[in-house]
Amino acid sequence: MPIRRFFGWLSRILSKKKKLKVGLVGAPNSGKTTLANRLSMEWCGEEMGEVSSLPHETRVVQSKKCVTARSGDYTLVVELFDTPGLSTHEDLWDYYKYFLELGWGKDKADKRIDEARRGISHTMELLGDLDVIVLVIDLHKDPGKQVCDILIDLLDKRGIPLIIAANKIDLIEDNPPTEEYTFLGHPVVPISALHGTNMDWFYREVYRHLK
């Protein structure tokens, strides 16, 4: 689906709304920033942040706002949010031990974990202010270990539209999923944020959830 057509559809169904807030959430290293950069390039013409293989490299909520569609006197502005990786207390302890193994030292590891906790808290506060949430999961890992069930239950209770993007399909060599499937009752879109695989499918899901 061409980007212009996608935002043309949005401008019609959101004719009473001037701004659309889209948030990317998920576990560390699931590919949120890679997807954020792809969306930001397509929507705003520039990337949002730096991609890193280290967990909790993104520790503060990043946002980018851009005009995406104009129709007469109507203007639709999309604000995209890339959030810190969500982790349980057990996960943070594992990351802390990993940082120590990297030779960081206790002070640096403590600071990284403290900043991660603040970033997670800020992300949870932001959820209720978003119009649609994209939960990015790593297709190579157990979804149940990516804080998915807890988050999905919370979003369902709040009635916030949710899209699940199963990322890194490009790294699946044998029978990568190409047809729709569900997780905890929600449709899943298998994508490659890095290569743009199935992004038309992804945009159709965004449109369907807002229609």
Q: What pLDDT does 187 receive? A: 81
- Give 156-180 pLDDT, tens digit per residue: 888 888 999 999 998 877 655 656 6
Tokens 């906790």 belong to 117
pLDDT at residue 109, rounded to an integer: 94
Q: Which of 131, 111, 115 has the alpha carbon at shortest distance from 60?
A: 115
Domain that holds residue 12: 3-210
Based on the structure, what is the number of domains in the chain?
Answer: 1
CATH of the domain at 95: 3.40.50.300
Question: Tens digits of per-residue pLDDT, 112-158?
Answer: 999 999 999 999 999 989 989 999 999 888 777 777 788 888 888 88
Q: pTM for the complete prediction?
A: 0.86
